[in-house]
């Protein structure tokens, strides 16, 4: 019986994880569920899974949840804030931590799981992007296990030979082909981008996901973050990671070997598949996903990405080869810009505009500690917010 903590239980990945786990009550026991402020949903999840701990990032929400639980499930311990999130990621009775908080807010709890040597199912790509090698080093030092949940990286992991950590050329791999659906605006004329609404940007053609990653998919910043994620997870450089537009989202990524062989992982677009893979690895369990019907799919298409249409992808490639705070700055500016777009403060083309302006006004610094990361993140967020105010005042 494996003890599981789900960081971000109320989100899209969290809900899919609980769906897979509910199929195997004899294998997995929920120790802790966490959310930011969705009291009702976390309460219902507590009724179903009866964890030992329920944590709310937001202190006020934690008080309300504790009050609601006190009559009916008084044995569930309610914790609050970052300390609570870090605590449940490191409990002794926890074997597996699903890291599914969105954004850099997931950094400290995911790091806590790494420092306690857990199996980390990593959905929260922003943690990897901002903490980079510092996070990978913590994983290694503490003998934690890092299993990718992002469908592309999970696919790559499945196609990689053993010992890929040594470096790709030493294990016979030439490059990674990272597939992308291209998002909802693959063929929308660029002159119409200013009229894109948050609802349109969140309507992904193949995947149902949280709002932030949906907007990232629409700008292709998601693929950019994934290029950086691939470099860190598979110990390689951005020139060895090729983005391939594949609108059907059937091939989730590929690995090309020195002899010319290309291995691919195919599946229906359903996050329960990588979640089930990483939960049970190296075994296999049922995920509940629909099986792949190649006759129904009939054809698979591929094309090269258009960096002019999607400048965020170009920014991420430029950032991927730097070992200073460039990725932290880009990620922070993107998080702030996406939130502003979702709030109708800026237009869709304002997202790359805010990122590029933030990048041009801040010189990346060297980062050696978690405190360095947090202060660079803060510095970039403040500047990005100021840039958004200027745009809103029509001065930009
Ligand atoms: P979501 O918005 O649906 O859920 C986010 C979860 O994080 C919620 O439970 C929310 O309560 C919690 N949260 C948000 N801010 C928080 C904070 N400040 N403190 C504590 N908790 C906080 O997001 P999602 O789509 O499930 O994505 C989660 C992560 O997984 C993201 O990093 C995303 O890039 C990655 N991912 C998601 C998918 C997908 O299919 N949804 C696929 C690949 C990768
Ligand atoms: Mg992905």
* 63 located within any domain: yes
- pLDDT value, residue 171: 96
Same domain, 72 and 182: no
Query: For 81-117, how does the pLDDT look when each residue is reduced to its tens digit (9 = 90+)?
Result: 999 999 999 999 999 999 999 999 999 999 999 999 9
Do residue 334 and residue 292 come from a single domain? no
Instruction: Say which ligand is closest to the CA of 84.
Output: 1
pLDDT of residue 205: 87
Q: What is the pLDDT of residue 142?
A: 98
pLDDT value for 300: 98
Whether residue 168 sits in one domain with residue 121: no
Whether residues 200 and 250 share a domain: the answer is: yes
Residue 233 has pLDDT above 80, yes or no: yes
Task: Report if residue 247 sits inside a domain.
Answer: yes
Bridge pairing between strands 262-266 and 173-180: unpaired
SS3 for 256? Answer: strand
User: For 100-198, where are the E strands, in sequence order?
Assistant: 119-122, 145-148, 173-180
Question: Domain for residue 304, yes or no?
Answer: no
How far is ligand 1, taken at its centre, from the CA of residue 228, in Å?
18
Q: How many separate domains does the chain show?
A: 3
Which residue among 120, 149, 178 closes a domain? Answer: 149
pLDDT digits (tens, 9 = 90+) for 284-315: 999 999 999 999 999 999 999 999 999 999 99
The answer to whether residue 190 sits within a structural domain is yes
Q: How many other CB atoms are there within 10 angstroms of residue 73's CB atom?
A: 15
Residue 309 lies inside a defined structural domain of this protein:
no
C-alpha to C-alpha distance for 98 and 111, rounded to whole angstroms: 12
In this predicted structure, what is the pLDDT of residue 207? Answer: 82
Task: Tell me whether the omega of the peptide bond preceding residue 249 falls within 30 degrees of 0, making it cis.
Answer: no
* Ligand 1, CB within 6 Å, residue ranges: 8-14, 35-36, 38, 57, 100-102, 105, 123-126, 150, 207, 209-210, 212-213, 271
pTM of the model: 0.98
Does residue 317 lie within any of the structural domains? Answer: no
Place of tokens 């030992």: 52
User: Which of 5, 6, 8 has most ligand 1 atoms within 8 Å of its beta carbon, as the pocket-test mutant?
Assistant: 8
Asked if 132 and 165 sit in the same domain, the reply is no
Q: Report the CATH number that the domain containing residue 372 is assigned in CATH.
A: 1.10.1740.10
CA dihedral in degrees (68, 69, 74, 79; nearest 10)?
Answer: -110
Is 41 in the same domain as 133?
yes
| pLDDT on residue 204 | 86
Q: What is the mean pLDDT of residues 16-34?
A: 98
- Residues 83, 109: contact at Cβ < 8 Å? no
**What is the 3-class SS of 316-366, one letter each residue?**
HHHHHCCCCCHHHHHHHHHHHHHHHHHCCCCCCCHHHHHHHHHHHHCCCCC
CATH number for the domain including 62?
A: 3.40.50.720
Query: For 319-359, what is each residue's pLDDT tens digit?
Result: 999 989 999 999 999 999 999 999 999 999 999 999 999 99
pLDDT tens for each residue of 127-157: 999 999 999 999 999 999 999 999 999 999 9
* Same domain (yes/no): 145, 9: yes
Same domain, 250 and 356: no
Q: Which of 115, 133, 149 is the last residue of a domain?
A: 149
User: What values do phi and psi take at 91, rounded to 5?
Assistant: -60, 145
- Domain end among 91, 122, 149: 149
Over the chain, what is the mean pLDDT?
97
> Domain check: are 331 and 289 in the same one?
no
Q: What is the pLDDT at residue 244?
A: 98
CA dihedral angle for residue 109, residue 238, residue 147, residue 355, rounded to 10 degrees:
30
Domain that includes residue 73, residue range: 2-149
What SS3 class is residue 242?
A: strand
Note whether residue 306 is domain-resident: no
Same domain, yes or no, for 53 and 90?
yes
> Does residue 252 surpass a pLDDT of 80?
yes
Distance 9 CA to ligand 1 centre (A): 9
DSSP code of 291? P
Give residue 249's pLDDT band: very low, low, confident or very high (50, 70, 90). Answer: very high
- In this structure, the answer to whether residues 182 and 288 fall within a common structural domain is yes
Torsional class of 254: left (φ above 0), alpha (ψ -120 to 50), beta (otherwise): beta
- Burial label, 223 (beta-carbon count in 10 A; 0-12, 13-18, 19+): buried
Confidence check: pLDDT of 395 > 80: no
Q: Answer yes or no: do 254 and 282 share one domain.
A: yes
pLDDT tops 80 at residue 396: no
């Amino acid at each position: 019986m494996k003890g599981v903590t789900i960081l971000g239980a109320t989100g899209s990945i969290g809900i899919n994880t609980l769906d897979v786990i509910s199929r195997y009550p004899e294998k997995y026991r929920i120790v802790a569920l966490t959310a930011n402020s969705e009291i009702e949903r976390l309460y219902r999840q507590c009724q179903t899974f009866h964890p030992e701990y329920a944590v709310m990032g937001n202190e006020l929400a934690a008080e309300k949840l504790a009050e609601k639980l006190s009559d009916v499930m008084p044995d569930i311990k309610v914790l609050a804030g970052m300390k609570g999130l870090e605590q449940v990621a490191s409990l002794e009775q926890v074997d597996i931590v699903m890291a599914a908080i969105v954004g850099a807010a997931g950094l400290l709890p995911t790091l806590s799981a790494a420092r306690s040597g857990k199996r980390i199912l990593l959905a929260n790509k922003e943690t990897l992007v901002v903490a980079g090698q510092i996070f990978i080093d913590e994983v290694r030092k503490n003998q934690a296990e890092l299993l990718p949940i992002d469908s592309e990286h999970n696919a790559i992991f499945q196609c990689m030979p053993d010992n890929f950590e040594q470096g790709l050329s030493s294990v016979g791999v030439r490059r990674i082909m990272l597939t992308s659906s291209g998002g909802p605006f693959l063929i929308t004329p660029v002159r119409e981008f200013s009229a894109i609404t948050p609802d349109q940007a969140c309507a992904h053609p193949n995947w149902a996901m949280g709002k932030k990653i949906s907007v990232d998919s629409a700008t292709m910043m998601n693929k950019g973050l994934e290029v950086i994620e691939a470099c860190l997870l598979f110990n390689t450089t951005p020139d060895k990671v090729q983005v391939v537009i594949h609108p059907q989202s059937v091939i989730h990524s590929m690995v090309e070997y020195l002899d010319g062989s290309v291995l691919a992982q195919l599946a229906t677009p359903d996050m329960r598949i990588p979640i089930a893979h990483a939960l049970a690895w190296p075994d296999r369990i049922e995920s509940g996903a629909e099986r792949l019907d190649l006759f129904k799919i009939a054809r698979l298409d591929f094309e090269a990405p258009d960096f002019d249409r999607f400048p965020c992808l170009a920014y991420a490639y430029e950032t991927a080869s730097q070992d200073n705070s460039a990725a932290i700055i880009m990620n922070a500016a993107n998080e702030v810009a996406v939130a502003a777009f979702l709030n109708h403060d800026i237009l869709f083309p304002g997202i790359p505009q805010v990122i590029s302006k933030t990048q041009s006004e801040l010189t990346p610094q060297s980062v050696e500690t978690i405190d360095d990361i947090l202060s660079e993140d803060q510095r970039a967020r403040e500047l990005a917010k100021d840039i958004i105010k200027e745009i809103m005042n029509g001065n930009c």
